[in-house]
Amino acid sequence: MQLILASGSARRRELMELAGYDFIVGVSDANEDVDISDPALLVRELATIKARAVQRETGEACCIVGADTVVYADGRIIGKPRDEEDAFRILKTLNGREHTVYTGVCVLCGADEPNAFCDETRVTFRELSDEEISAYIRTGDPMDKAGAYGVQGAGCVLVKSVMGCYFTVIGLPMPRLYTALREKGILPTKAKAR
């Protein structure tokens, strides 16, 4: 069964490759405008919407992994910044504080019911000066990331601590995804070769 990652995220693709999966990328153009205020429910729903949209294009002979990530702080869901000014505002909000990263995943294989789940990780930023925030924004790194930062790139210097799955913060909780795919008989090709 062909494995498809329903995401254009370079970070998610790198994690799947790192784990040894044989997959292709199928980006959905699904409407992601949903009215859900609970971050865990939101990311599960969006991951499912993405997986179903790709399944409509590819048919049921594939196993599709959809994913979505948001940051949650002060009772608000924080997605990707609109522009550099918005990125600065977001990073100032997170500065020196703890927030929660939610990543939802949907594994949709053939005609089976979707297996949608959410993983959450608490992240604490260190105290940052306005110049540090501006310098990070100038790298361009925050512009396509929920919460306006990426823990695996230049944004690693912003983070003081991570409590939970590091991969959830990147955008794909690999230990839980591995378990969900294993239940469908899909293992990394490197693991099969051993």
pLDDT at 194: 41
- Give the pLDDT of the chain (194 residues) as one tens digit per residue: 899 999 999 999 999 999 999 999 999 888 888 999 999 999 999 999 999 999 999 988 999 999 999 999 999 999 999 999 999 999 999 999 999 999 999 999 999 999 999 999 999 999 999 999 999 999 999 999 999 999 998 999 999 999 999 999 999 999 999 999 999 999 998 754 44
Tokens of 108: 């949709």
104 neighbors 118 (Cβ within 8 angstroms) = yes
pLDDT at 60: 87
CATH 3.30.230.10 matches 2-193: no
Q: Write the DSSP string, the chain.
A: -EEEEE---HHHHHHHHHHT---EE-------------HHHHHHHHHHHHHHHHHHHH-TTEEEEEEEEEEEETTEEE---SSHHHHHHHHHHHTTSEEEEEEEEEEEETTSPPEEEEEEEEEEEPP--HHHHHHHHHTTGGGGSGGG--TTTGGGGGEEEEES-HHHHHT--HHHHHHHHHHTT---HHHHH-
pLDDT at 120: 98
Residue (of 64, 76, 158, 78) closest to 114 by Cα position: 64
φ, ψ of residue 95 to 5 degrees: the values are: -55, 120
Active site residue 38: no
Can you give the residue ranges of every domain in the chain?
A: 2-193
Residue 57 CA, distance from chain mean position: 22
- Sign of the C-alpha dihedral, residues 39, 162, 154, 85? positive
The answer to whether the pTM exceeds 0.85 is yes
Q: Is 79 left (phi over 0), alpha (psi -120 to 50) or beta?
A: beta
pLDDT at 93: 96
- The catalytic residue among 38, 68, 112, 119 is 68
Contacts of 49 (CB under 8 A, 6+ apart): 28, 30, 31, 32, 34, 66
